[in-house]
Amino acid sequence: MTDFFAGLPMAANFALFALAAAGVWLAGSRLPLYADAISDRKRIGKAFIGLVFLAGATSLPEIVATLTAAITNKPGLVLGTLFGGIAMQTAVLALADAVAAPAALTHFPRKLSSALEATMLALLLALLLAIATVGDVVIILDLGVGTTALGLAYAGVLVILNRYEGTETWQPVEIPETHEELVAGVATRELDEVSLRGLALRFAAGSFIILVCGLMLTATASALAEQTGLGTSMLGVTLLALSTSLPEVSTTFAAVRLGAYTMAISNIFGSNLLMVALVLPADLAFRGGPVLDAIDRTTTLALVSGLAVTTIFLAGLLIRSPRRIAGMGIDSALVLGGYLLTLVAFYYMT
């Protein structure tokens, strides 16, 4: 598909990129509304809705791109697509904190779900780094032991998070005056007359739009990077990373504006967890041995950066400090600073 767009004039690719970006943004801004309404109707926790359904919908372009790269035996592209945006997507939370949240974002969650998600994500990233360092071993049909373990671990994480979704074994003592349940309830009143089936259909339609526009966004961004000669520069890399992360950006900002802060956090952590879990199907589709054996220094740095920013937000969720710096929580400021340092390191490595 990229070859087709590479043959188009640059102006046409810019127009298609803008059109696809608008489609992703509009669809992504509506998905949290539908997800929040479905959560209220079916009494499913906001964190689990964000972790599974919202994260799955926004990750559809990456899923298709990853499997396509695996089938065409491009392991570097597989790992870059999966792990290149983990730190960036986490930095999206920090930007949403600065732009849309009325207080430090990690000061809002009232249960342990968000902190547990961050803990499980950090654990899977550490396991992934250990496997990449030691090296994977083939079981059968080029499938690695490590990738199988990661897939099973992801399934176990979902079971744990679902089990403890409604638990009250840990609760903050100080709760912000802005309660996300009340804010979100007001925002979703426009959907009161829509049936549950109608909400599900709207969510599915929005997910399909994100899939189609997201793939077009990535393809046109790749073509523009080549046509402008920026493909190997920091600007080109940033453009490609932003294009693949735009669905998560739009849904996260929309969820924060909606007041569904727990859902916004779970959307990002859920997307990052899914990126780790996708190593298993990618390894099944790749026919050149364990796909993790193709990991390089750049991908390793991306994983370490993702682990670092995740643990920073984990600390923020546990400390729950209301203090802000430059309009955002202290943890968000540290995450943005860490991500910028990662970009500098990428620049010197490339």
Q: Count CA atoms within 13 Å of residue 2 on its CB side.
A: 13
Give the pair of three-digit tokens for residue 108.
């809002």
Q: Calculate the average pLDDT of the chain.
A: 81
245 versus 303: the higher-pLDDT residue is 303
At 118 the pLDDT is 93
Domain 46-177+233-349, CATH: 1.20.1420.30
Contact 240, 77 (CB under 8 A): no
Residue 312: is its pLDDT beyond 90?
A: yes
Q: How confident is the model at residue 232 (pLDDT cuts 50, 70, 90)?
A: very low
**Contacting residues for 197 by C-beta, under 8 A, at least 6 apart:** none
249-264 pLDDT tens trace: 888 888 888 888 888 8
At 255 the pLDDT is 84
**Contacting residues for 64 by C-beta, under 8 A, at least 6 apart:** 211, 215
Q: Nearest CA to 293 among 152, 185, 146? A: 146
Q: Give the number of other Cβ atoms within 10 Å of residue 186's Cβ.
A: 10
**Contacting residues for 299 by C-beta, under 8 A, at least 6 apart:** 79, 80, 83, 84
Between the alpha carbon of residue 120 and those of residues 101, 269, 309, 310, the distances in Å are 25, 9, 14, 10
DSSP secondary structure, 285-301, as one string: H--SS-GGGG--HHHHH
114-137 pLDDT tens trace: 889 999 999 999 999 998 888 877
The distance from CA 344 to its chain's CA centroid, rounded to whole angstroms, is: 22
Domain extents for the chain?
46-177+233-349
Cα–Cα distance between 43 and 207 in angstroms, integer?
22
Handedness of CA 293, 157, 41, 262 (dihedral sign): negative
Cα–Cα distance between 6 and 182 in angstroms, integer?
48
Cα–Cα distance between 291 and 139 in angstroms, integer?
13
Q: Provide φ and ψ at 341, rounded to 5°.
A: -65, -35
Most confident of 31-40, 160-169, 190-199: 31-40
Cα–Cα distance between 28 and 255 in angstroms, integer?
10
At 1 the pLDDT is 60
